[in-house]
Amino acid sequence: MSRSFDPVTIARELIRCPSVTPDEGGALAYIEHVLTGVGFTVERVVFKEPGSPDVENLYARIGDQSPHLVFAGHTDVVPPGNADAWSYQPFGGEIAGGMLYGRGAVDMKGAIAAFMAATCDYIQTKGKPKGSISFLITGDEEGVAVNGTIKLLKWAAERNITFSHCLLGEPTNVDTLGDTIKIGRRGSLNGTLIVDGTQGHVAYPDRADNPIRGLIKLIDHLLAEPLDQGTDHFDPSNLEFTSVDVGNQTVNVIPAQARARFNIRFNDRHTQESLKELLRVRCITAAKGRVRWWMEFEPSNSDVFVTKPGPFVDLVVSAVESTTGRKPALSTSGGTSDARFIKNYCPVVEFGLLGQTMHQVDERTAVSELEQLARIYRTILDTYFAGI
């Protein structure tokens, strides 16, 4: 890797930008400065939505042909919390004991720095690619995610920009760099199970109808059998109740209503609609016409997806293995990411640093792993534009 495009130097500069969601913090300005210096055309786009903060995003591209490889990521970070609890200042970008400390070091300014270094080095040594390279960088992935990637992708589509493949730099590795690539993500669905009763005095239960009894019966039935047994690329879907509430202010009143919130992380055996129907049928069976119940579901943009193994997945696996000596597992575990939006436009694979310290005090990455990640990305670029 060329000294002039050192991933560690770039990562330190990005960490020093206090880009806590939704603030740009100077991070996008720095990326624009570096990329325009090697020939990229850069556009910074602000998206707005009533009830949410304005968010600035960045799209950069070099080349105008296919294939078109896009690197996606986010420069926004979660708040650092109490800065005094950190060993080093959260936006200091300090190096100690071979580790780079700072908010975003892992999630995910480190990966952005590695890809910037790899791309700039590629262009410096080989010239413009026989195709196109672009950066799709958002500023609200850690927030409500309404003014970032989802709108930037639509913005690109309106300009007839199409992508061949995407590499998303989320921290995917579990224990060692090179152990895991994410080829998919589970869907996520939030809902509330509500049971109506009849309020009354606890001393006269015959004059009331306690909704808690019905709620317990429905919850027990919903959890009695698994939602599925898993699929080729996914673990079994899971339903978890996360709160139960009756809003009761006193102990001698039978409540009028009981509510239970839940979340389902689901695999590719289901859609949001098929899950809703499955829950409805189970509740009807359990209620037997004697429990007054209904469900409310929150809007969700977190659908399940999988990028099935093929040439692009094989290319990334090969680059990781040739650089680290490890053949990565193809995983679909974890929460959601912006890949849930990108998958509607092109195949997407996720690979970045170790995720062990993301969102924690003293978030950090090994300098050697950051440098190794840049070499992996450089190998991907070399192979990709040599022909998949």
- Residues serving a catalytic function are 76, 141
SS3 371: helix
In the block, residue with structure tokens 């690539």: 181
In the block, residue with structure tokens 């004697």: 290
Residue 9: CB atoms within 10 A of its CB come to: 14
On the 0-12 / 13-18 / 19+ scale of CB atoms within 10 A, 196 is middle
208 conformational bin, left if phi > 0, alpha if psi -120 to 50, beta if neither: beta
- Tell me the pairing of strands 184-185 and 305-306: antiparallel
> Rounded CA gap, 257 and 220, in Å?
18
Helix (H) or strand (E) holding 181: strand 180-182
Strands (E), 230-347: 238-245, 253-254, 257-266, 292-297, 305-306, 329-331
The phi, psi pair for 274, rounded to 5°, reads -70, -30
The phi, psi pair for 296, rounded to 5°, reads -120, 135
User: Torsion angle, CA of 284/290/296/301, rounded to 10 degrees?
Assistant: -20
Q: Is 112 within 8 Å of 170 (Cβ atoms)?
A: no
Residues 6 or more apart in contact with residue 227 via CB below 8 angstroms: 236, 237, 238, 239, 264, 266, 270, 275, 278
